[in-house]
Amino acid sequence: MIKTALKNYIETLELKNYSVNTINNYRNHFIPYLNYFSEKKPSQINKEEIINYLMHLRSSRQLSASEQNQIINAVKFFYEKVLNRPKELYDIPRAKKPFQLPGIFSAEEVRQIIDAANNLKHKSILSLAYAGGLRISEIVNLKISEIDSQRMVINIRQAKGRKDRIVMLSEKLLLMLRDYYKIYKPKEYLFEGQSGGMYSLRSIQEILKKAKSRAGIKKKGSVHSLRHSFATHLLEGGTDILSIKKLLGHQSLRTTMIYTHVSNEHISKIQSPLDKIL
């Protein structure tokens, strides 16, 4: 029963063209659900039992808001998309994600991080992440053919949400990539591992970690922070929010609006009352 349900579940995710990461996340949440009800057919599990399962997880594990919502969505997918049942509302309050501002590097910190990378390949990877605001998954999936030096754009294919988009190609990045190409001679992907093929996500995170250490930057921040910095610095430079939304590939403007909270364009110009009294 479990094997059949899981097989149908994964096949439906693939047929609906969900990303590899989403498929893995849903599968990892759905398998414990099936095991919890191992003595019942998944199709016979009723709404009350599902709610009890969700409450059991909430009380037995310290779930983040994101993980709790993923579990609910993973379970709902089976009944609504695999078994084609009507949409169901489970009477358990969805956890709200805490409002957190993204980590941002200053322009000078970005320069220091790139300068601290110990070879041209690593410099090119970090420069690309910042110059185009790319997600780490987009960096490793980027192919040589998607760098369009004639139009001065980078073509991002089938990114988050299975959508294509384009971002501008920095002139300085293009010069750096040409030097990089002459030395490393990648065959298909712009950045490839030592044995060829796609570069690993973990390796890129490690590149940033080591570059930050060499630069003496102790501020928290991952490769994704370079994307956040890209958006914030564009906003501070006068680029309109709709253009930034398009460059980042956001579906909703609300997602992009978070950068208005971290931009110091206006905040830094406000005089502290302390300056007036001392």
Of 122, 228, 245, 250, the catalytic one is: 250
Q: Does 214 participate in catalysis according to the annotation?
A: no
| Rounded Cα–Cα distance for residues 226 and 106 (Å) | 10
Structural contact between residues 232 and 104, judged by C-beta atoms closer than 8 angstroms: yes
Of 227, 228, 233, 245, the catalytic one is: 227
Of 135, 157, 210, 246, the catalytic one is: 135
**DSSP string computed for 19-80:** -HHHHHHHHHHHHHHHHHTTTS-GGG--HHHHHHHHHHHHHHS---HHHHHHHHHHHHHIII
In a 13 Å sphere around the CA of 266, the CA atoms on its Cβ side amount to: 6
Q: Does 18 participate in catalysis according to the annotation?
A: no
Of 121, 214, 224, 246, the catalytic one is: 224
Q: Does 224 participate in catalysis according to the annotation?
A: yes
Q: Does 227 participate in catalysis according to the annotation?
A: yes
Residue type, 197: G
- Token look-up 């928290």 returns 220
Q: Does 261 participate in catalysis according to the annotation?
A: no
Residue 167 backbone dihedrals phi, psi, to 5 degrees: -130, 160
| Rounded Cα–Cα distance for residues 7 and 21 (Å) | 17
In the three-class reduction of DSSP (H, G, I as helix; E, B as strand; rest coil), residue 259 is classed as helix
Of 160, 210, 214, 246, the catalytic one is: 160
| Rounded Cα–Cα distance for residues 182 and 19 (Å) | 33
Of 26, 53, 189, 259, the catalytic one is: 259
Q: Does 157 participate in catalysis according to the annotation?
A: no
Active site residues: 135, 160, 224, 227, 250, 259
